[in-house]
Amino acid sequence: MATNTSSLLQPPLDTQAWLNGVRAAWQRSGLRITGPRLRVIETIVSYRAPFSAEQLYADLCTHSDAPGRATVYRTIDQLHASGWLARIHGSVGEEGYIPCQPGHLHHLVCTQCGAVTSFEGCDIEQMIANVAAQTGFSVEGHLLQLFGRCAKCRSKDQATS
């Protein structure tokens, strides 16, 4: 049976909804919404490609009121732990983050331009259950990233050949 893949793809991130969601989550968990934390999340949501913690820190350091390195790293850790950031593993070992909505998402990563597309749903639960039963391993989660070339990059390649 064919799966309707268009319904699995996530719409592009609504930056204002993401910022509001992070602020609300911080308030619910008792975290203070400080100026430095706000600068961190506003910079995060401005990126259009995966970013590293060091890149974020360097970009923030261009301002006179830049948050400290510890604030940047702690904020990334908090956002990742609560599902507001996803860690993306590149095809050649590099690692970065993208803002996302909390939930069970997977990612398509373009090896040419670095674009990341989120999708939901994966039919590997039965395989995971079988592996867990065979090995006695207690699976607590999984990560699925697919690498390849996005439609735009493939179109560019076809146009130049």
Write out the binding residues for Fe cation: 104, 125, 142
- From the list 81, 83, 145, 82, the residue with the least C-alpha distance to 111 is 145
Which residues line the annotated binding site?
Answer: 104, 110, 113, 125, 142, 150, 153
- From the list 22, 47, 45, 17, the residue with the least C-alpha distance to 33 is 22
Which residues line the annotated binding site for Zn(2+)?
Answer: 110, 113, 150, 153
Strand partners, 146: 108
148/136 Cα distance (integer angstroms): 33
Count of C-beta atoms within a 10 Å radius of residue 66? 17
CB 95 within 8 A of CB 52: yes
Reduce the DSSP state of residue 122 to 3 states and report it. coil
Count of C-beta atoms within a 10 Å radius of residue 108? 17
